[in-house]
Chains A and B, each alone.
Chain A
């Protein structure tokens, strides 16, 4: 490999990037947009579940139960319903997510020490929110039942037996359970994959489409030099994006960065080389820009978004998909990022992932060079 020729290819590619200020701007704006959206607007956290209540009993007991729901920090009573049609309409229009229906004989059953069933409807279409709403409702109902049982046994005040069990929850690594703390680190991996999909996947295909590849072939430049030279400008751009992401995480979102910053950048660089080369490999094989972008979507962007553990925990996936996720490099990088950011772990814990990423990067660079050689020949 001749460094002067690599530099020449890199310079040509730099000019390409510079001549197209809009693409350059987007390569920086898209990551920032993603960070802002995930940092500010997007969360799976369920705060207060909007609730409809239909109290058919209209007794002090039923009002007490409803007041428990209304006063809890989990529910926000938005609607006093007067029948099932009210509830159906409110749930269908998503005005409320849950509905509590207290039956007519509620107070009578409570008074005689019988179990008093109340209905709790929840909009199940968003299963995540529904799960939280059901859990909250059970918590409120349980604590109310406890009071009733104590009252009926005539043991309020000092005679009341102690609560048998207290759960002390502790959350490691992300004490306030903020979703941005786990989203923002993983987002760095996604951003790099976007850059690879958007920038490198087009570079070689464009040369083929415009016919400039033949001119490049006619020069003494070698395939390895083309690959290396074309990687340089996008590598610089990608690292700039990493820097922006880390800075925004630090200054804007205050995501704790507990591990080594140097290690973070080092491993980002390793991953970036692999991701960019992957885009390049796609570009070399596709020869058409449209096909290359579609392939890049399917092979790099989607898997790194959905199967890397960035948002959806890999442990919850079915076994075949869990197995398949092992060949997705972003998976290892996401766990590295979360490890460095939130757990503050270093190379001893992350050595396995780091080795796999390096192997992936080296393999894709070699493969891209070989494929280019064959197509050139």
Chain B
């Protein structure tokens, strides 16, 4: 068995690496993904282009606006009293927020009444809009607090200290709340799945499409050797991608890795069982490379979207949440993020690893059975 398997492996490696462009792609795909997620994908909101409509123009309105301008969250792109012009700015996307202060604002503040600030946001991106409203509420709240204490002081004499509760916030695992610390480790899980699914399923189906599978059938290669030959090379490529993405994450993006690297490699092996198993399964149900490719997409897209990579699982409807337990990407993502950010060990992560083992064993077993049928 050893000799035949070795030859089979040599053939597979030759096939993948023969084309220099293919060699490039195996490096380029993870590289591009990790760079995009490290640099571009960010839910942090800063410098929101803001139009200001101040009909009041009193010291009070200017003080409030100065607080917005000085916060770093709002960048004033237009100051106008032409409401139609503001509408055009928002239509064209040149302004995403509008601060509007009507006449009488300063009078109300001075006279002890409630003044009004209108904050208009462009809701076409609802996440950004929610964050912008939150920032605006905090800035207005701080201003309101100051004026309120002035009013108290006027009624009761100077208040010695503001008093009350002060929140001391601390973020665990990702102190500066940087999106990239969340996304970059996740890219490892995503890219390994994509690469191994694609390479495994298409490698088998290509033999069917070109007709070389018949030659393999008449050769003394056993189904087990065939399966190993079609998975080991891609498992190794998967491992190479883990090192590549983790290396870039740690050394280039300064993503912390607080847990054990050995544990990461072990969990990767469990995860590879599941992705290779699914890849083989896809190859048994596909006749052409196009079919294989589309089936890979049909599996991969929901796997990514329902993994918690971008969208928190906790926000999904309960029935869908149950479904995500069958998704190996979901479990591996918990493992990867746990190892990188929380420094978690096997004691915390064993349920996820057990789930991976279970899914992996099941898919491999089904794939092997189906293979025997088609090959024998």
Contacts and interface: CB of A to CB of B under 8 A. Distances in A.
Interface of A: 20, 22-23, 26-27, 29-30, 33-34, 37-38, 40-47, 50, 65, 91-94, 110, 113-132, 134-135, 137-139, 141-142, 144-146, 148-150, 152-155, 159, 161-175, 177-179, 181-182, 194, 198-199, 202, 206, 209-210, 286, 288-291, 293-295, 297-298, 302, 306-307, 309, 311-313, 315-318, 320-321, 335, 338-339, 342-343, 345, 349
Interface residues of B, number: 123
Please report whether the interface of chain B is mostly helix, strand, loop or mixed according to DSSP.
helix
Given A122-B169, A293-B198, A27 B294 contact: yes
Given A293-B202, A321-B40, 7 more contacts: A23-B291, A26-B297, A141-B165, A169-B119, A209-B209, A309-B125, A316-B43
A264 B150 CA distance: 55
A68 to B, nearest CB: 10
Given A116-B166, A167-B137, A23 B40 contact: no
B114 A164 contact: yes
Given A164-B115, A167-B117, A289-B289, A138 B128 contact: no
Given A120-B169, A155-B156, A144 B311 contact: no
Contacts of A307: 36, 40
- Residue with the highest number of chain B CB atoms closer than 10 Å, among A29, A131, A132, A306: A131
Contacts, number: 388
A130 B177 contact: yes
Contact of A294 (B25, B39, B124, B141): B25
Given A125-B342, A198-B297, A173 B124 contact: yes
B373 interface: no
A27 B295 CA distance: 10
A290 B22 contact: yes
Contacts of B162: 115, 145, 149
B36 A144 contact: no
B126 A45 contact: yes
Nearest to A152: B163
B179 to A, nearest CB: 5
B214 interface: no
A42 B305 contact: yes
Contacts of A94: 314
Given A114-B163, A115-B163, A165-B114, A293 B293 contact: yes
Given A149-B159, A302-B33, A26 B172 contact: no
A172 B120 contact: yes
Contact of B36 (A164, A302, A309): A302
Contacts of A338: 124
30 contacts: A20-B290, A30-B298, A42-B311, A44-B43, A45-B130, A92-B338, A110-B163, A110-B164, A116-B164, A122-B170, A124-B171, A124-B173, A125-B342, A128-B43, A129-B312, A130-B177, A131-B131, A132-B131, A141-B167, A152-B163, A166-B117, A171-B133, A209-B210, A293-B198, A297-B194, A298-B29, A312-B43, A313-B45, A318-B39, A342-B123
A312 B39 CA distance: 12
Nearest to B178: A127
Contacts of B134: 131-132, 135
B186 to A, nearest CB: 10
